Amino acid sequence: MKYDAFISYRHLERDMFVAKRVHKALETTKIPRKIQKEIGRKKIDRVFRDQEELPIGSDLGSNIEAALREAAFLVVICSPQTKDSYWVMKEIDTFIEMHGRENILAVLVDGEPADSFPPQLLTDENGNLVEPLAADVRGKNKKEVKKKLKTETLRLAASILHVDYDDLKQRHRERQMRRNVGIAAAIAAIAVAFGGYTAYNLAKINEEYQQKLVNEARVIAATSLDVLDDGDAKTAALVAMEGIGTEENGRPYVTDPVFALSQALGTYNLGLNLEHDLKLNHDVNISDFAINEDGNRVISVDNNNKIYIWNLDNGECTFKKPVDVVEEEDDSIRAVGFAGDIAVVASENYLRGYNDQGELQYEYAPEDGITFAKVDDFGKYVAIKTAYYDDEYEKHDYVEIVDAATGESLKKYDNQTETDFGATMMFDKDGKTFYIEHLPGNDEDPNYATVIDLTTDDMIDIPVEGGAIMDVVPTKDGDVAIASMSYDALMSYENAPMHIYKCDRKTGEIKWSRDVDYIGGALSTSYSHIGSRILDIDGVEYPQLIINGTKKMYILDLYTGEDVCSFSTNGFIQNFMMSGSSQLLFVGTSDGKLSYYDALTGEVADDGLVDVSDSLIDFDIKNAVFVSSGFRSPNLMVLKFKEDDDYLAQTEMETGFYGGAAVSPSGDTFVLQTSNDAASNAYTCRVFDTVTGEEIGTIDIDGGRYGKLYYIDEDTIIFPTYSGTVIYYSVSDKKTEEVKISEEDLISTDYAISTNLKYVAYGDDKEFYVIDTQARKIIYSGEVDFNFWNIAVSNDGRTVYGIDVYGKAYKVNAISGKSRPIFEDYKVNDIKTSQDDNIIAVITEDGYLRVYNWDTKKAENAIEYYGDQYSYVEFSKDNNLLYLQGDDLYFRIYDRQQDKNVFLMSNQINDLSYTIYDEEKNQLSIFNYTDMYIIDLNTYGFIDYAEYGRLYIPQAQVIVSAYGTTMTEFNVKTQDDLIEKVKEKYGDAKLTELQKLKYLVQ
């Protein structure tokens, strides 16, 4: 085995503190000579402890898996938070899969064993309870922990060495005693040098303290990203602020919390995706909520009948009020909603209106109280259902219509049937018609849905089958749709038919009816079962009635009831909403997912899934703001299409972005590769002025290559094409020029450009051509005795590297045309040139990348790397760093002098296209088709990220983003800019003491 042990731990400060000391203690354990002879080894050789934490949902990197495979023991640092670490759980599962459970050791750092040990350690492969081998280092403070570590790490070492703990402990004591005698003898000598030592020691302490602050900032940043991933952007920003280094707080500047803060604020967002923004925390679980029409306010009620009003711009709770007590009984809340700026609350005894600050605007006490209530979704009315007993003690019920803005009672409508009104009520958009269900409470008594014309006071009672009405709604063609089913089946969670009726709103005549399947279940709590719309797509009308069958959506023809399409879901459908401008349906399910479906085909839309939370009970969308509640959750989740509107320029292009981008040496202009039909390799490349964002030129390229366009000087852009032509474009005079290697367009060529952009080499069957990009002509050409599959060219243009289809590599003298085989021991996938023509990178099929030096004729580095001609390999300007992305799609940076990887991205990304280096800041930006990342090469931490970022212009400190036909330029946000944005968005908000305790922020 390569490692004696692999240490797995959650990257929290306490767990990291113990992990580091266990690591050091194991690797420095002194084995007494007698035991050395018995076991045949002098020490514990190597212990693996990873420094980086992978994000939730990612795969373990190849280096982590390799280390687990080569580890004899797994040491798990255990605390109550360990089980919440996706990474640690995955490492345990991977080790068990590779080696079994016998060689797993636990180190208890906090909490009780049952709460802290991962479940895999508490049972064997048959599910029987077991007691893991464990060391206990719990203590009140670090001093106590360090004291226990001295003895408990011996227990771990004994297990790893397969020796008796008592023997190792005794020998260790004897060795310590001999060492103490030596120490005592040396004290006098040490005292002489004490003064110099003290100065040195103080410097060392300060250095260690600064490193502690750096590490703490990184942990805070990781916590911030976890909080953001959990859906709370505001708290994530406040957590990140705790790690930001400023002159005031004395913290050092660290990139990680700056990056985390940028992510929490949605910097450079284009507003294309629904993203988590706020988590509104209530005292107890939520029972009801409503959003205003503008989507910037929420009123909510918890299970203790406490009312909350929230500002969705900053997450502030502007009002919180316990329910009233009326005659020693809680005045329970029946419904909440909005009438313009007024928050409306209907309780058992009162209807009240409040402003944002909770100041009472009106109060109305209905004569007979309130049994059920409904606040109009459009803010015009409140419907109150109530009942009373007459002088002969007969029960009567009625519905009262109240003005939602003033609390004025407008009309009352008595129930015309013997079956009580129920809780399901609905107003149409224009406020002219009201719909209400009846609730017999059984399947024997007759049941109805009542339609009331509020302008004429006409009432129509429509009889339906089944004792439970699931929904009653107006349809887009002016009728009414009703869903009903068996009351007994509904209450016992049974599967049963749900009856759908399409009726004339004025007469109650049934135009059509049909049944759909209803899947019963305890988590089926939706109150939305019918939706209606008439879509107009490209002049074609699609009349739809949409039915929620709890685990299946049915899209029916609104006019006939015939099937259009249907689709099933994994979780129970809790709510759904319809787009008014497209065929999309937004479907929220009990498993916490919001999915986008195409209602014409039943298919999930591209990128049509949002993880809202662990569970979902209800949701609403107003003005593109999404708010949801979860099962037994005290939180409301708020998602928005967050757009960073602080941009320099925004331009609409005639064609959409597809490809690559390049920036001039001065940064004054840049070019984007766009296309309406990228499959044809036909592109329109658009040149922009960086300062104004104005489009200043276009170039049409036929046969171009995705992402391959280059500035060779301030005024000239080149576009090598597949057909053997290099196209030149002058930015100043907007003219093009071509250099062809053949009069005829070729179809079997491969080409490469030198690292310094001075030469383009083409390989066409057995012929090669080298074009001088400055002279704009072919300077070398020749014929070889192999067919080019891949090609590369040196920076002086005099050497061409060729690879044939069988993986044989050749070095070609471009002047003489002579070639010779190279690297004959390997099948070569690709060759990449560096800044120095004597150094090349060779990708071989045995899973390695070798950096070869022609001067020494030796491979200076052999790097485990699985890649081919489509993988990404680039040398830094000093040739020391390698920027790599292989078949595993993890980007990494390899330091040739240190002979090791110094950066590994924790998540896979799409194929890399190009990089841009900022020499002044020593930062690297990397790009693929969908993302841009900026990496600080001083600390190897992330600085920035922009989804759909296409260019970073160091000279102007500008990020260029493009999606579809829209190009947007942003100024790069500094740390000070981000801090100012936090103040602008959240004011003086700070973490509470409880939050600091929860997130371990000191």
Stretch 450-466: mean pLDDT, rounded?
96
Flag the least confident range among 250-259, 461-470, 890-899. 250-259
**Helices (H), strands (E): how many in the chain?**
14, 71
Q: What is the pLDDT of residue 345?
A: 96
Quote the CA–CA distance of 470 and 525 in Å, as a whole number: 11
Backbone angles phi, psi at 994, to 5 degrees: -65, -40
Q: Is the pLDDT of residue 55 over 50?
A: no
Instruction: Check whether 169 has a pLDDT greater than 80.
Output: no
Q: What is the pLDDT of residue 195?
A: 55
Give the β-pairing of 71-78 and 104-108.
parallel
CA-closest candidate to residue 62, choices 901, 978, 963: 901
Q: Which of 123-137, 520-534, 845-859, 888-902 is predicted least confidently?
A: 123-137
Question: For 634, which DSSP code?
Answer: S
Pairing verdict, β 3-8 and 47-49? parallel
Strands 858-864 and 133-136: unpaired
For the residues 365-389, what does the mean pLDDT come to?
A: 94
53 has pLDDT over 50: no
Dump pLDDT digits (tens) for 71-82: 999 999 999 989
Burial letters 360-398, b for 16+ CB under 10 A, else e = ebbebebeebbbbbbbbbbbbbbbbbbeeeeeeeeeebb
Task: Compute the distance between CA of residue 717 and CA of residue 708 in angstroms, rounded to an integer.
Answer: 11
Residue 475: pLDDT above 80?
Answer: yes
219 to each of 213, 260, 937, how far by Cα in Å? 10, 11, 19
Q: How far is residue 949's CA from residue 946's CA, in Å, rounded to a whole number?
A: 5
- As a whole number, mean pLDDT of residues 487-497 equals 94
Residue 322: the pLDDT is 87
CB atoms under 10 Å from CB of 915, counted, come to 17
**Would you say residue 504 has pLDDT above 80?**
yes
Structure tokens at 237: 């920003």
* Cα 773 to Cα 754: distance, rounded to the nearest angstrom: 10
- Which amino acid, 852? Y
Q: Which two tokens stand for residue 465?
A: 């089958």
Compute CA distances 899 → 61, 840, 862, 864, 896, whole Å.
19, 16, 9, 11, 5
**Span 794-814, pLDDT tens digits:** 999 999 999 999 999 999 999
Q: Supply the pLDDT for residue 799.
A: 97
Pick the residue with more confidence: 208 or 530? Answer: 530
Percent helix / strand / coil, the chain, rounded to 5:
20, 45, 40
pLDDT above 50 for 541: yes
Whether the per-residue pLDDT at 172 is higher than 80: the answer is: no
Taking the mean position of all CA atoms in its chain, how far away is CA 457?
Answer: 53
pLDDT at 54 over 90: no
The predicted-structure confidence for 903-949, as pLDDT tens digits, reads as follows: 999 888 889 999 999 999 999 999 988 889 999 999 999 999 998 99
Say yes or no to pLDDT of 187 above 60. Answer: no
- Does 748 have pLDDT greater than 70? no
Instruction: Give the Cα separation of 239 and 989 in Å (integer).
Output: 11
Contacts of residue 1001, defined as CB under 8 A and 6 or more positions apart, other chains included, come to 220, 223, 239, 242, 991, 995
Q: What is the pLDDT of residue 628?
A: 93
Residue range 308-346, pLDDT digits in tens: 999 999 999 999 988 777 766 778 999 999 999 999 999
At 999 the pLDDT is 86
pLDDT at 362: 97
pLDDT surpassing 70 at residue 47: yes
Can you give the pLDDT at residue 213? 86
Please report, in angstroms and rounded to a whole number, the separation of the first and last CA atoms in the chain. 41
Predicted pLDDT of residue 181 = 39
Q: Which residue has the higher pLDDT, 867 or 458?
A: 458
pLDDT tens, residue by residue, 691-712: 999 999 999 988 777 778 999 9
Consecutive H or E run containing 618: strand 618-622
What average pLDDT does the chain have?
90
Which residues does residue 625 pair with via DSSP β-bridges, in sequence order? 622, 640
